[in-house]
Homo-oligomer: A and B are copies of this chain.
Amino acid sequence: MPGPPPTALQPRKTPRQSRSRVTVEAIFEATIQVLLRGGMNELTTTRVAERAGVSVGTMYQYFPNKQALVYALNARYLDALAARIEATCREHAGAPLGQMVEALINTYWTAKTERADVTRALYRSVAELNNDVLIHAFAERVDRATTEMLASACDAVFPDVPRANLALVTVIYGTVRNAFERGVSDQEAAALRQDLTTMCRAYLANFRA
Contacts and interface: CB of A to CB of B under 8 A. Distances in A.
Across the A-B interface, the 6 shortest Cβ-Cβ residue pairs: A174-B178, A174-B174, A202-B202, A127-B127, A167-B195, A174-B175
Nearest to A184: B166
A170 interface: yes
A127 B123 contact: yes
How many copies the complex holds: the figure is 2
Interface of A is mostly: helix
Contact of A41 (B128, B164, B179, B192): B128
B178 A128 contact: no
A61 B57 CA distance: 41
Interface of A: 39-41, 123-124, 127-128, 132, 135-136, 139, 163-164, 166-167, 170-171, 173-179, 181-184, 188, 191-192, 195-196, 198-200, 202-203, 205-206
B163 A173 contact: no
Contact of A171 (B163, B166, B174, B184): B174
B167 A173 contact: no
Contacts of A135: 181-183
A86 to B, nearest CB: 18
Contact of A128 (B127, B167, B200): B127
